[in-house]
Amino acid sequence: MSECTIACELHDYLEIACMYNYRVVLTLKDAQVIEGKALDLITSADKREYLVIGLDQERRQIDLNHLAKMKVLTANAKFAEVIF
């Protein structure tokens, strides 16, 4: 198991979002906003962790260290918002 690049309890929210394929709005530390479906968490060869987001027909990898906030748009989700 790799070390968490963010607090492990926050990492759990990302895992839940991916497990249920929640539709989310991510706010990055540079104020960029990305909306899509949480699909997966991956770790690169250099041990960086990424959230894979589905955006229509494409997928985008978001470095977990760049996350500021995640808001869940999916109805009846297990949580509504996480501040990183």
Structure tokens at 19: 């497990």
Q: Which amino acid makes up residue 72?
A: V
Q: CATH number of 8-83: 3.40.50.920, 2.60.120.260, 2.30.30.720, 3.20.20.70?
A: 2.30.30.720
Q: How far is CA 20 from the centre of its chain?
A: 12
The pLDDT value given to residue 1:
41
Mean pLDDT by 10 residues, the chain (84 residues): 71 97 98 98 93 94 97 97 96
Polymer length of the chain: 84
What are the structural domain ranges in the chain?
8-83
- Please tell me the predicted confidence (pLDDT) of residue 77: 97
